[in-house]
Structure formats: C-alpha cells, structure tokens
Structure 1
Amino acid sequence: MHERQTSNTSLTSLLGTPVVHPDGRLCGKVKDVAVGTGADAGLVAGLVIKSRESGRRLVKATEVIITPSGALELRSESALEPIRGDENFIFLAQDLLDRQIIDVHGRKVVRVNDVDLQWFARDTLADLRVREVEVGLRGAVRRLLQGTMPRKTLDQVASHISARVIPWEFVDMIEVDPARRVKLKIEHARLALMHPSDLADILEDLAPAEREAIFTTLDEEVAAETLEEVDPKLQKALVESLDSETAAGIMEEMHPEAAADLLADLSDARSEAILEEMNPEERQEVEELLEFREDTAAGRMTTDVVIVPVAATVAEAVQALRSFDGDPETVTEIYLVDERRVLKAVVPLARVVLALPESRMEVLAEPRFISCRAEERQQEVAELFDKYNLRALPVLDRDGRLLGAVEADHVIAFLRQGR
C-alpha cells in the first residue's frame, strides 16, 4: 500500500509486524497500538514497538512507511520516542482485547475480539485512526487463526464472515487498576443520557468492580433512577459498596417508598448510618414508611403527593403543583383534604389543566373515589387497580386521614417481583 492511500487494517494484522530502520536493520515488532482520549479520542497516538535491546518505544503512525513486503519502515532514526508511563493512552491490545465494554449505542455489554483501524491521508502523510470495535465471529476467527497463514489469506477468510462491530464513538471502556479503583477511560457523559432501565440492564451484565465504576460516575439523580430499576439484590450490593454519605445523597433523590424498601433490606446499623446522613425532611418521609410492612398498601405507597385544602381554587392548586418537591411526572391527581388531613375529594390533573383559575377544586372533583386502608395487602391493592382502572390509589389511616398514594408503577413493580 502506498502511504497516501486510504485503506483498512486491524489490530490483529498490525500486531507482530516488523519495523525496520531506514537502512533495513530490524528495529523491533509492533507490540500494541496507543490511542488518544478526550479531544484525540480514536486517533492513534503511536505504535508501540518492542525489541530485546531497547524495550518498548513509541512511533507516530505518520513516521512510518508501509513497504511492499508489509513491514513498517521508520522515516528517521529519531522517530522513536520513549514511553514514560504517564500518558493518557488506551493501549488497544493491553486494555481492550477480550475486555467487556459498554456499547452505548446498542445499550448493552459486549466483549472485544478485535479492533478495526484505517490508514488515511493527512497532509502528505498517512495517519491511523480507530474505526470500530469487532464484537462478533469475524474478529474471533481473525484472532484464532493469527500466525497460522499469511495475513492476506487470513484477511480473505475473515472477509467472508459477517461483521458485528461498534463504531468507536459508541464505545465506553472500563479499567480496573491494581488498587481496585475503577474508572471510565473514555468520556462517559453519554451514559447519563441513557434511560435508567437501559443503564440497569448494563449494570446487571457487568462484574462487580466494573458495575461500581459505572454507578459511581453517574450523578445522584441518574443513579437514583437507575437504582430503582435494578434487581433488589443488586440494589443492596451497590449501596453497600458506597460510603454512607454518598448512599444518602442518592437515596434522597429516590422515591421515598423505594428508598424505604431498600433500607429495609440492609442491616440495622447500615440503614441507620445512611439515614443519619440524609436531610431531615427526606429522612422523616423514609422513616415513616419504614414503620409499615413492605407487602401492604402503606409499605408500597409514596408520600410525595399534591395536597390542597378542600376549599382551594384551581389557581391555588396550580401553585401547589409548582412548589411540589417530588417527581412531577408521577402526579396524576390532586387530593383535597380538610384541616385534619381527612381526604374529601380527588381531582384528576387533566381537569385542573383545562379549568379556569378561579374555579373551585371541589367542583372538579370525581363524584366518587376509590381509596384503601394502610394495612391493605398488596395483592388486594393490585386487584383494585385492575378492577377500577386506576392511575393512583390514595392510602388512608383508620380515621380517613391521607397518608400517601400507591402509584401504578409501584403495583407493576411488585407484580414483576412475584413472577
């Protein structure tokens, strides 16, 4: 290949390639490929050349010429640079081959079999860039047959196998160092844009150290949403891997009932340590829920509900919505209570949106509403949702005072756990 032509190659094909000096003397062989991160992500920083005499050194791709025999020839004797060890590189063979990576495009965890690269023209030189990661049979066959046949023959064999690849920009890689600290090696902000359910699936597919790496790099809100989606056993393992202050910050962002269920699965000492780190308001909500059995309506309800006096106007209800501290996406109805917090009426949110500001809320109320007692069993709660096609179910104490509400997704969650 002429140095200015653009063509594809692979990490497997490059590894072991002889590198010679301008006068033809053997310099060493390609041991690895160093790739930049950050702004240089995907651009090959250099080929790692290893020889018995000089150990490992680095040469930029633009400083080599591909000879007709397939060897790489240095442009000059000074092209080789020492590897200091503090460079922010990914070494493809060392750090990537056979490792688990996250395909943020396909939202799954896969194993790397090979890496496809491309020589491309850059001014008057040929540079090298990572194109995609091989995660299918083609890369595995290429690796398996490496050294058993000429490279051109191997490339021809591999070309007949369907490729399964991930473009480099959709890859997030994780690395565990000897101290068992885990870090993302490529920009991981894309993970925060994924749906919590997809993140939960990824966490469940990873080994514990890698799992903790992903989880601890998420901000508290995303971590909380993701934690609510994973299996209860995994929830417990993730929280136990965190210090109490970090765990408390995440639980403050969770729905109170979900946080209470999780704390109930921890030891008393661990649960108390996390509660002590939580803000007083969130701690009180969770502690109140911890008093109820998990398999009852009160144990499944949320205390994040919108409440207004029975004599309130639509304008006052809208103001209550605006000042609501919970998740606004969960609100489907507004509860009207008297001065003792006894539930008097329920108003669907859609009616509030369409009403005039001066309208009285009790005029918009449902003529009848369904509620349940705090001690109602969760299976009976599910039957009420099914029978009356409910979006939410208010939970009352023995005196009719509103304690909270069970939402439809709470019912779905415990039904799934029971399957």
Structure 2
Amino acid sequence: MTKHPNQRTSVSALLGAAVADAQGSPLGHVREFAVAPSIDAAHIHGLVLRLASAKRDKQPSLILISQLELGPGGHMQLRKDAQPTLLQEDDDYLLLERDLLDQQIIDVHGHKVVRVNDVDLVWENCQEDTPDLSLRIAEVEVGMRGAVRRLLKGLPSASVDRISSRFGQSVIPWDFVDLIERDPSRRVRLKIEQDRLSKMHPSDIADILEELAPAERHALFISLDEEVAAEALEEVKPKMQQSLIESLDSEQIAGIVEEMDPGAAADLLSEMTDERSEAILEEMDPEERQEVEDLLEFSGDSAAGRMTTEYLALPATALVDRAIDSLREYEGDIDNITDVFLLDEEEKIIAVIPLVQLLLAAAGTPLADLPRGHLVTCNVDANGRKVAELFDKYNLRSLPVVDHEKQLAGVIHAEQVIALLRASR
C-alpha cells in the first residue's frame, strides 16, 4: 500500500467510510472512533465498524489503527492476517462521535464555553521504514467550518472541502483539551489542568460555570481545588452558588468556605437553612468559623454585612519593617490591600497609610511619620446606599468600618461596592 504521511482528515469525513478486508472485499463501515485515554489520549486506538455481514443487533467490531493500511485516495484496508474483534460493552473507551461531538467543552485560552462540531485527525506513519499507521487527534473544531462539514457529510469529499473552506477556522488544539473522562451518565467531563485554571481570573471561571450545562458545570466545579473554587464561587450569583454546592457534603463546603473572604462566606451561608449553615460551620476551623459567625450577626444591607475582616492594621508605634513583614505573612487576598490602618492603644483607627507610601519608605521609619491618606470611616449600621455615597464622594479604595466604641471592626473594599451597585441595577 502507498504511504500517506501527515494526511489530514476528520471525524465527519471518516464516519460511514468503507473499510476493505485484506483481499480488497467490503468489510464494513466506520461508525465510531475509539480512544483509550489510559494508553494514549492523543491518538485513535481503533475504528469501530458495522460489518457488512453483521446482523443489525450484533455487537460492533473494533479494528486497531495499526491493523490498517491506507491506499490511494485514503481508502482503508486491513493488513494481511489482521482480523476485527468484538467491541465489548465494558471496554473503557472514549468514543468521539458519541462522547465528544455536540458536547460543551472549555476553551481555556478564550475563557469561554464552546460546542464541538468536528474533530480534525491526521494519518501518520509511525516510522519512515515501516508501514505502521497512526491516526493522531489534532484539533477540536468549534466553529462554522466543522458544522458545515458535518452538515454536508455524504457528499464527495472534494465538494465538502471546497464549501467548508469558505468559513473561518476556529479550533482548539487537542493538547489543550487535556484529559477527557466519561462519567456514569456517559457524558463528557473535562479535567482541565489546575495550573491553567489558576492562571484564569476568577470572574472568567465564573462566566464559564454559568455557560455550562448543569452536568458539565458540576463536573468542572468539583475538579477545582478549594482555593480556585472559593474565588470562583465569590464571583457567581447567589442562586448559582447554591446550585454549585447543593450536592456537596458539609465537609467539602467547609473546605471551600474557609478559603473565601469571610464576608463572602457569611453571605453564602446566610442564604442556606439554619441547619445546613450550622453543619458547615461545625466542620470549619475554629478561627475561620468565629470570623464568619460574627459577620452572620449583621444585616446583609448594612456596612457590617458588606465588610471583610481581612485587612492590615498595625499599632501607630510600628515601624516600616513590621508592616513589610505583615504583608509577607498576610494570608488573605493580597490584591485587596491598598492601605494600612494605624490603631491607637484602644484599637481605634487614627490614620490610613496608602500602600505606595509604605513601599517607598526607608526601613526603620515609624509608620506614624509617613504621608497619610484622607481618613473616612462609617459605622457598622450604615446602609449600602451610604457606603456607596462615601466611596463616590471621596474616591475611596477601601472604607474602614467602626463599631459603636469606634474600634475598627472591618473594611469594605471597592469590589464589594461595585458588586452592590451591580446587584441594585
């Protein structure tokens, strides 16, 4: 047989294609593409055929790609002495037509959910001096080109290629689809590498979660590590939050809640029944639990209900060195730290130091000697409208919240106010 290295084809082009036996007689037609992820997730392991001689209710047969030869025009024929085997129902194969086409997958680089319209394949010779073939999975087609190819399936390949080439290419390299597993309901579940997800902004992950169908949404969420899951959960709407965690047990939710901003965690738990909320709190570490319980006591529309207890406050007598060490040791979301608050001996706030002033100061400088920002505070009982007015009037990045003894109780960051304004629109 003639060798055709690097000849491109696709799932839509090969579905229904004829396969001949070693003598050139009709053997059957391609009905599926079997991938064995545990062996090689980048290549087609074998073609599933409906044999020409088989009865309708007979099990389909499997031909390994290594058992095939490729003739002129891409005609497929069995190599000498090769024989098909029955495809067993319990074989752990990913079947591309059944398990991948028309399914939703995540375009990690485009930060969006897309639908698979076709899969691009490449015939390759395993080694130059042997006739062994391999069929590599090159790309996933998610644009109109793939949809048109499937729509025109059955027409001469030259006509299909000519028409589909008029449409722009939109593909995701198979390398970026990572690993695909079938869940018990036979749907596709994507397991994206955690390092890729961790590089995405939490709001992008939240958008993806909202675009996915329920089964895929749940599968993606439970694949996230606790920190990434917590950040994404803070970005979705309350109704979606409850949907994402409703199937998780209290221990799993507690692990995620501990990674959330305490204010966001309190908002999440306040939407649950008292019984469910208490069960989750019982699973949390004592320190994180106490912070959240304190915030649960406040009205959600009050300043206290909007504030977080994650901030950086130091005695007015502290030096720059101490502040730098505190920044390094800070375990909250460092992106939210825009100011350092100075407290007197009674824990009352007396000054706010912009972070940039801290970074420009020499080591050993007393914090009290640094240029100060304009100090604006609000009471724990202030409503959301008052908080928004203060941010707008003074162009604030953060707003300290003080209790009835004028002690620092928490801080409201700009992102909480933006979320408040969006929710009120």
* TM, length-normalised to structure 2: 0.90
Pairwise CA distance, 1:80: 3.0
Residues 324-376 of structure 1 deviation map (CA, whole Å, 9 limit, x = unaligned) = 33222221222222232111222222222222332222222527411111111
Is 1:273 matched up with 2:279?
yes
Is 1:342 matched up with 2:309?
no
Match in the other structure for 2:141: 134
Letter in 1 for 2:283: E
Pairwise CA distance, 1:115: 1.3
* Inter-CA distance 27–113: structure 2 relative to 1 (3 Å threshold): same
1:223 pairs, out of 226, 229, 242, with 229
Pairwise CA distance, 1:63: 2.3
Pairwise CA distance, 1:163: 2.8
Residues 54-94 of structure 1 deviation map (CA, whole Å, 9 limit, x = unaligned) = 73232232321233475421002335344445555321111
Letter in 1 for 2:44: V
Structure 1 Cα separation of the partners of residues 113 and 369 of structure 2: 53
Does the CA contact (< 8 Å) of 2:116 and 2:140 recur in 1?
yes
Structure 1 Cα separation of the partners of residues 239 and 174 of structure 2: 33
Does the CA contact (< 8 Å) of 2:59 and 2:87 recur in 1?
no
Is 1:190 matched up with 2:196?
yes
* Inter-CA distance 183–78: structure 2 relative to 1 (3 Å threshold): same
Partner secondary structure for residue 184 of structure 1: strand
Match in the other structure for 1:258: 264
1:245 pairs, out of 247, 251, 256, with 251
Letter in 2 for 1:57: S
Is 1:316 matched up with 2:316?
no
Does the CA contact (< 8 Å) of 1:175 and 1:210 recur in 2?
no
Is 1:48 matched up with 2:19?
no
Pairwise CA distance, 1:169: 2.0
Partner secondary structure for residue 253 of structure 1: coil
Structure 2 Cα separation of the partners of residues 2 and 145 of structure 1: 28
Match in the other structure for 1:145: 152
* TM, length-normalised to structure 1: 0.92
Partner secondary structure for residue 401 of structure 2: strand
Pairwise CA distance, 1:408: 1.0
Pairwise CA distance, 1:300: 0.7
Does the CA contact (< 8 Å) of 1:21 and 1:27 recur in 2?
yes
Letter in 1 for 2:153: Q
Partner secondary structure for residue 48 of structure 1: strand
Match in the other structure for 2:369: 363
Partner secondary structure for residue 258 of structure 2: helix
2:81 pairs, out of 74, 77, 81, with 77
Does the CA contact (< 8 Å) of 2:388 and 2:417 recur in 1?
yes
Residues 288-315 of structure 1 deviation map (CA, whole Å, 9 limit, x = unaligned) = 1111111121111111112222222222
Structure 2 Cα separation of the partners of residues 348 and 22 of structure 1: 79
Match in the other structure for 2:214: 208
Structure 1 Cα separation of the partners of residues 315 and 35 of structure 2: 63
Pairwise CA distance, 1:188: 6.3
Is 1:398 matched up with 2:404?
yes
Match in the other structure for 2:310: 304
Identity among equivalent pairs (%): 51
* Inter-CA distance 140–393: structure 2 relative to 1 (3 Å threshold): same
Structure 1 Cα separation of the partners of residues 344 and 192 of structure 2: 56
Match in the other structure for 1:10: 10
Query: Which sections of structure 2, spanning at least 5 residues, go unmatched?
Result: none
Does the CA contact (< 8 Å) of 1:60 and 1:79 recur in 2?
no
Q: How large is the RMSD of aligned CA atoms in angstroms?
A: 2.4
* Residues 177-186 or 323-332, more deviating: 177-186
Does the CA contact (< 8 Å) of 1:21 and 1:77 recur in 2?
no
Does the CA contact (< 8 Å) of 1:32 and 1:93 recur in 2?
yes
Corresponding residue pairs, total: 418
Residues 25-82 of structure 1 deviation map (CA, whole Å, 9 limit, x = unaligned) = 3322211112343673321212122322673232232321233475421002335344
* Residues 333-342 or 180-189, more deviating: 180-189
Structure 2 Cα separation of the partners of residues 6 and 319 of structure 1: 58
Structure 1 Cα separation of the partners of residues 93 and 188 of structure 2: 16
Structure 2 Cα separation of the partners of residues 154 and 318 of structure 1: 64
Structure 2 Cα separation of the partners of residues 69 and 10 of structure 1: 14
Letter in 2 for 1:96: L
Does the CA contact (< 8 Å) of 1:252 and 1:282 recur in 2?
yes
* Inter-CA distance 75–16: structure 2 relative to 1 (3 Å threshold): same
Match in the other structure for 1:89: 93
Match in the other structure for 1:63: 67
Partner secondary structure for residue 366 of structure 1: coil
Does the CA contact (< 8 Å) of 1:100 and 1:173 recur in 2?
no
Match in the other structure for 1:291: 297
